[in-house]
Amino acid sequence: MATGSGEKARTSRFGDQDAVSVSIAGPERPFFFDKLVVFDAADAAVNFASTPILALPRSDLIIVGGYLHLDALKNGAASAQIIDAFVLSYSLGTVATADNDLVDANEADLKPAATLAAATAGVSPHSKGVLDGARVLASGGATNYIDNNAGSLAVFLNMTLPDASIGVGVNRTLRVKGSLRLVTIGLGKNA
* Domain ranges, ordered by start, for the chain: 31-186
Question: Residue 168 is which amino acid?
Answer: V
The pLDDT score that the predictor gives to residue 123 is 98
Q: For position 186, what pLDDT does the model report?
A: 80
Mean pLDDT for the stretch of residues 26-35: 81
Q: Any bridge partners for residue 52, and if so which?
A: 156
Report the amino acid identity of residue 98. A
Q: In the structure, what pLDDT confidence band is assigned to residue 25 with cuts at 50, 70 and 90?
A: very low
The answer to whether the CB of 149 falls within 8 A of the CB of 39 is: no
The CATH number given to 31-186 is 2.60.120
Find the mean pLDDT for residues 8-25: 46
What is the pLDDT at residue 177?
Answer: 97
Mean pLDDT of the chain: 85
Complete DSSP assignment for 57-124: PSSEEEEEEEEEEEEEEE-GGGGTTB-TT---EEEEESS---SS-S-STTSSSSEEEEEPPPPBTTBP
DSSP assignment, residue 25?
A: B
